[in-house]
């Protein structure tokens, strides 16, 4: 079933700054797309390896004003409509609402259409927009031209604390923003949605406390989190492997990377609150 996809988030930045980050080509090339060309109010395009079907630009500007942006975007032969709306919550806080049509959740599972990546693609993109505006390092983006799914980030927290948040059900559910139940031992279950709602959970195949966690997701591949700590900081390397390289699981990978962005905020911000709001 095709349905609109909607995301809502809060950023600690004035509305005008958010609008500029969304409509300035140089800013877009920093946090969002490999290539971008913008000439308002007539022209708005982005493409490149970080964009689904990014071999060429496929967007058409429909509307822009100080608080909203509307684009037509052809994906897998269908013209979708992308809408971004900004609402000033205060002088230094802005609410972002993004929606896109022609999203079918079954495409996330089957990979039948590239539109299946839209939810997680935008979750990662909004996370990077927020970090760009708040002056924080960006999370690696998906390369839709590569079957090598690998990312590295630095987190200002000890490896032991990060590892605990990767293997404790309550902590993982908190920063990922979705219920997760974990049996933290080799052979243990790793269930998105919880054990009662996931009849086919992933399986932990390697666990070295404070250093390494490997989770087997079946056909979607194997996720490995490796941590190397020094002086209270940690280099986290994330790799997904073991999938059909002819059909990389980009939707899941983008979701994992968007979660990684929130994991960093969870550990680095003393007054951490999720950036995501109920849609």
- How far apart CA 181 and CA 130 sit, in angstroms, is 28
CA 171 to chain CA centroid, nearest Å: 18
- How far apart CA 133 and CA 24 sit, in angstroms, is 13
What's the average model confidence in pLDDT over 70-89?
Answer: 97
**pTM exceeding 0.85:** yes
CA-wise closest residue to 127 among 168, 166, 176: 176
- pLDDT of 279 > 80? The answer is no
Q: Which pLDDT belongs to residue 246? A: 92
- Beta-strand ranges (E) seen in the chain are 3-11, 35-39, 43-47, 59-64, 68-75, 78-90, 93-103, 149-155, 180-182, 189-192, 202-208, 212-216, 222-230, 233-241, 276-277
Q: What percent of the chain has pLDDT over 70?
A: 99
Band of residue 3 on the pLDDT scale cut at 50, 70, 90: low
What's the average model confidence in pLDDT over 1-13?
Answer: 87
Token code pair at residue 72: 């037509």
Cα dist from 78 to 23, 127, 229, 250, whole Å: 24, 26, 46, 19
Band of residue 68 on the pLDDT scale cut at 50, 70, 90: very high
Q: Which pLDDT belongs to residue 111? A: 83
The count of other CB atoms within 10 Å of the CB of residue 135 is 8
Q: Which pLDDT belongs to residue 1? A: 47
Q: What percent of the chain has pLDDT over 90?
A: 93
Mean pLDDT of the chain: 96
| CB-CB contact of 226 with 150 (8 Å) | no
Helix (H, G, I), strand (E, B) or coil at 119: helix
CA-wise closest residue to 182 among 214, 148, 139: 214
What's the average model confidence in pLDDT over 50-75?
Answer: 98
What's the average model confidence in pLDDT over 95-115?
Answer: 91
Over the stretch 170-207, which tens digit does the pLDDT of each residue have? 999 999 999 999 999 999 999 999 999 999 999 999 99
């Amino acid at each position: 079933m095709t349905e609109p996809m909607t995301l809502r988030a809060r950023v600690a930045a004035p509305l005008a700054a958010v609008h500029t980050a969304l409509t300035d080509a140089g800013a877009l090339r920093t946090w969002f797309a490999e290539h971008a060309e913008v000439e308002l109010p007539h022209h708005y395009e982005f493409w490149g390896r970080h964009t689904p079907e990014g071999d060429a630009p496929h967007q058409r500007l429909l509307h822009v004003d100080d608080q909203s942006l509307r684009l037509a975007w052809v994906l897998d032969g269908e013209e979708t409509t992308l809408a971004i709306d900004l609402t000033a919550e205060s002088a230094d806080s802005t609410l972002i609402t993004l929606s896109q049509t022609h999203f079918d959740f079954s495409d996330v599972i089957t990979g039948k259409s590239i539109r299946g990546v839209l939810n997680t693609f935008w979750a990662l993109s909004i996370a990077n927009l927020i970090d760009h505006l708040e002056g924080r390092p960006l999370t690696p983006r998906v390369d839709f031209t590569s079957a090598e799914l690998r990312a590295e980030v630095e987190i200002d927290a000890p490896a032991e604390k990060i590892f605990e948040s990767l293997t404790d059900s309550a902590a993982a559910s908190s920063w990922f923003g979705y219920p997760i139940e974990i049996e933290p031992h080799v052979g243990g279950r790793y269930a998105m949605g919880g054990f009662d709602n996931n009849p086919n959970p992933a399986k932990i195949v390697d666990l070295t406390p404070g250093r390494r966690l490997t989770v087997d997701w079946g056909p979607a591949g194997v996720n490995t989190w490796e941590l190397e700590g020094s002086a209270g900081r940690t280099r986290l390397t994330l790799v997904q492997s073991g999938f059909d390289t002819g059909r990389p699981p980009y939707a899941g990978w983008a979701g994992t990377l968007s979660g990684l962005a929130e994991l960093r905020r969870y550990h680095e911000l003393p007054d951490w609150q999720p950036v995501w709001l109920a849609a």
